[in-house]
Amino acid sequence: MIPFPEIDPIAISLGPLEIRWYALAYLAGFLLGWKYALHLCGLSSNNRPTKDDIDNFIPFAVLGVILGGRLGYVLFYQPALYAASPLDAFKVWEGGMAFHGGALGVILALILFAWRQKIQLLRLSDIVCACVPIGLFFGRIANFINGELFGRVTDAPWAMVFPRGGSYPRHPSQLYESLLEGALLFFILLFLYKKMNFAARPGVVSGAFLAGYGVFRMIVELFRQPDAHIGFVFSQISMGQVLSLPMVLVGGGLMTYAFIKDRK
């Protein structure tokens, strides 16, 4: 096995102020995603969304990710705990964020922003979805540094013993997710955005993101240790797979809709 690189989760410590790698991962995801979205706007011949639209949407995206991610964690993973102590749901500094909740938060932010600014929803969502894998890549790297969300026990030569995972070697599933949901999905969406006639098929990139993330997450869940307080939901099916299946179905339906509308 490979020794786990014990990196201090605190990246910068200035007296009482502690900045963690996890916070820097969120910051990097938002900043690089914002810049990449501005670049994608320049590739489109359509007037909307403009670069100003992207600038104005960023605060909505941040709120959607943070509020949706926290609410999703409370509802999907720890409902009983927070029902007993509702105020603990606001303690975001103690950790606990769910991607699927953050995705729902951003979708709601997209709908509200596109409606208020009179922008075609799918054109805006195509740009935003193309940027999301950047944040996923850095976020999963931060999970690895924290030694959390580790994989199942294995005898693979690249297995690691995580500080919170007992004495058994496990899959570094966080790195699997960073490569699949982050790097690979990013380049797939970039290819679709540049090579396909996305202007005539709004929704193709959004659908590909939803379906691609869902498929990759369901694959990685085969190697990831289920949450201890939940375990498997059905037989060998985890909560992550249950929540990812609707993304695959909706994403596939959205791509189908985009192609059918283009033909008409």
3-state secondary structure 212-259: HHHHHHHHHCCCECCCCCCCEEECCEEHHHHHHHHHHHHHHHHHHHHH
User: How many CA within 13 A on the CB side of residue 90?
Assistant: 2
- Is 3 among the domain residues? no
| pLDDT confidence of residue 63 | 92
Per-residue pLDDT of the chain (264 residues; tens, 9 = 90+): 888 998 898 999 888 888 889 889 999 999 999 999 999 887 766 677 899 999 999 999 999 998 888 887 787 777 776 666 776 666 665 567 788 888 999 999 999 999 999 999 999 999 999 999 999 999 999 999 999 889 999 999 999 999 888 889 999 999 999 999 999 999 999 888 777 666 668 899 999 999 999 999 999 999 999 877 677 877 889 988 999 999 999 999 999 998 887 676
Task: Report residue 39 as tokens.
Answer: 């670049």
Separation of alpha carbons 104 and 78, rounded Å: 18
- Is 2 among the domain residues? no
- Is 190 among the domain residues? yes
Separation of alpha carbons 255 and 259, rounded Å: 6
- Is 137 among the domain residues? yes
- Is 58 among the domain residues? yes
- Is 7 among the domain residues? no
Separation of alpha carbons 162 and 122, rounded Å: 41
| pLDDT confidence of residue 230 | 76
- Is 139 among the domain residues? yes
Q: Which of 99, 94, 258 is nearest to 174 (CA)?
A: 99
- Is 152 among the domain residues? yes
How many domains does the chain contain in total? Answer: 1
Can you give the residue range of the structural domain that contains 255? 13-263
